[in-house]
Amino acid sequence: MISPLCARQIAAQTAGQARRVAIETVPETGSTNADLLARAAQRDFDAPLLLAAESQHAGRGRAGRTWHSAPGSSLTFSLAWPFRRSLPQLVGLPLAVGVAVAETLNALGVAARLKWPNDVLLEGEKLAGILVEIAPPGEDRVTAVIGIGINLALPPELRSRIDRPAAALPSLQADRNALLAALLNALAEACVEFEAGGVAAFAARWNALHAWRGERVAVLDGARTLHQGMAAGIDDSGRLLLDTDAGRVAVLSGDVSLRRAEA
């Protein structure tokens, strides 16, 4: 039996920095990211806030894509975290978030890996997506809204709406509260560590989880190929390093996408 999301049960399993986080759950919404961005713009909260939804009907992914989910088959939530950093200093936050998510799943026995810049993979297929958006800055802080969607099951109707290979975690579907608490514990610690050291503090850990290290990949801007080369990991700025025929190049994320190169 799948347990309903319960803020009290999630909070009871938090530890460390996660105990600072207010937790809310809702049966349904359009987008947890959109909800927290709107509330941050109205200065509706001052401390970190987690919002989880049983169902989203307007979930968003990176570059304007749709994140498809289904009630009981997905874990969709957003964490609003105020940083005392400037906006440029938040570059690379999705990579740090990816490390926190993948390390949590590995601790639960799931061999999750990372695809630059913001996908979590299982056996080469997309398991989770990350979308980080920034609320209008305040006087002394910038609030990042970190949206995460994880596939827990892929019923036929949901699979038919996803336009790429996808993976799921049916073994973790039953107790989503425990899973969300474990993720929140890791994310809260990651946010504190990121505020202190930026993405450089996560580079080695990200590289240890790199799904496509040593594989030939292409960096695309829409249908246009910008670079091709062997994926060599990320640097301390969060840039993807590619070994190309012309030498090593470093690629900023922006709105580009990464694909395996055709043979």
Catalytic sites, residue numbers: 62, 126, 259
Q: Which residues pair with 151 in a beta bridge?
A: 74
Longest dimension (CA), the chain: 55
Residue 198 near residue 92 (C-beta atoms within 8 A): yes
How many C-beta atoms surround the C-beta of residue 57 within 10 A?
10
Phi and psi, residue 73, nearest 5°: -105, -5
**Angle at the Cα of 62 from the Cα atoms of 38 and 89, rounded to 5 degrees:** 70
Residue 2 near residue 74 (C-beta atoms within 8 A): no
CA distance 37 to 42: 9
Query: Which residue's structure tokens are 């997905």?
Result: 74
CA distance 101 to 237: 20
Query: Which residue's structure tokens are 């999705």?
Result: 94
CA distance 143 to 48: 9
